[in-house]
Amino acid sequence: MTPLVRLASACIGVAAAAGDGAPNSPVLYEVVTETGMPHLEENLRYTTTREQRCLTRHDLLSSFPILQHESLQDCSLGRPDANSGAWRMPLLCTGAHGTTGRAQWRFGERSIVGLLNVKLGGKNMTFYQRITATPLGECVRQ
């Protein structure tokens, strides 16, 4: 088990929003993902997706879909700095393209909210992705 997974399992255990189950127990969440690109024209700036998924607490922390895009394929989130109910994680990129960013997770009583801010290197282009996960109940496997 990597240090990040161990830290995530330990710290998430205290998050009331994720329920009372073990850190690796799947929970059914309503997951809303918003992506915003303020540099685009108004009708292209924002996109929102909604889905219900069974996720473990660890899955939530690594669930920013934009990190799967080929332009960010050499980027990942670094070790979390946990302070006052929030986790802050740097975006670490190994390529020489100069992309920078930071993610933050807040654990509330009724939801978990993650926000990833990214600035693409060499361009004056920024975007964000926000994930709001609301627990709905037990995950029923078919």
Query: Residues 53-101: pLDDT tens digits?
Result: 998 877 877 789 999 998 898 999 998 887 767 889 999 999 878 899 9
The pLDDT of residue 28 is above 80? yes
> What ranges do the domains of the chain cover?
3-138
Residues 106-128 have a mean pLDDT of 89
Q: Could you give the CA distance from residue 114 to residue 137 in angstroms, rounded to a whole number?
A: 20
The strand pairing partners of 127, in sequence order, are 118
Considering only residues 51 and 9, tell me which one the structure prediction assigns the higher pLDDT: 51
Residue 118 CB burial class (10 angstroms; 0-12, 13-18, ≥19): buried
Q: What does the pLDDT read at residue 39?
A: 76
Angle among Cα 57, 60, 61 to the nearest 5 degrees reads 95
CA distances from 71 to 36, 38, 97, 109 (A): 16, 18, 10, 35
Q: What does the pLDDT read at residue 93?
A: 92
Percent of the chain with pLDDT over 70: 80
Q: What does the pLDDT read at residue 80?
A: 84
Q: What does the pLDDT read at residue 101?
A: 94
Question: In a 3-state reduction of DSSP, which class is residue 72?
Answer: helix
Q: What does the pLDDT read at residue 71?
A: 86
Q: Could you give the CA distance from residue 12 to residue 85 in angstroms, rounded to a whole number?
A: 10
Residue 91 CB burial class (10 angstroms; 0-12, 13-18, ≥19): buried
Q: Is the model's pTM score more than 0.85?
A: no
Q: What class does CATH assign to 3-138?
A: mainly beta
What value does the mean pLDDT of the chain take? 79
The pLDDT of residue 115 is above 90? yes
Q: Which long-range contacts (CB under 8 A, 24 or more apart) does 92-98 make?
A: 97/121, 97/122, 98/122
Q: What does the pLDDT read at residue 12?
A: 35
